Amino acid sequence: MGKRIGTEKISREPGYLYFVGKDGCVWRMPMKNNKGGTKKKVGSEKVSKKSGYLYYLDKAGYVAEAKMVNA
């Protein structure tokens, strides 16, 4: 489905949502059930984002990209 483009492995913690922000860094944000968490940048790798692609953290913990169908 997607192609792995990141080289840095991010370890996940339960209760957080992980995403690639506008700046190209991976961020974590607390889910609704995690009241004590704060938004924080994780990892030091920056990804250059291209238009028409979706960027996410795959199951192994690396940044991956997938082409969007209707973009």
What is the pLDDT, as a whole number, of residue 68? Answer: 93
Half-sphere exposure of 50 (CA within 13 A, CB side): 8
Tell me the whole-structure pTM to 2 decimals: 0.84
CA distance 29 to 20: 11
Task: Provide the pLDDT confidence category of residue 1 given band limits of 50, 70 and 90.
Answer: confident
Contact 15, 33 (CB under 8 A): yes
pLDDT single digits (tens) 10-19: 999 999 999 9
Which residue's structure tokens are 């984002």? 49
Residue 3's contacts (CB-CB under 8 Å, 6 or more residues apart) are 64, 65, 66
Count structural domains, the chain. Answer: 1
Contact 44, 29 (CB under 8 A): no
The one-character DSSP state at 22 is T
What is the pLDDT, as a whole number, of residue 37? Answer: 87
The domain of 16 spans 3-67
pLDDT single digits (tens) 2-54: 899 999 999 999 999 999 999 999 999 999 998 888 999 998 999 999 999 99
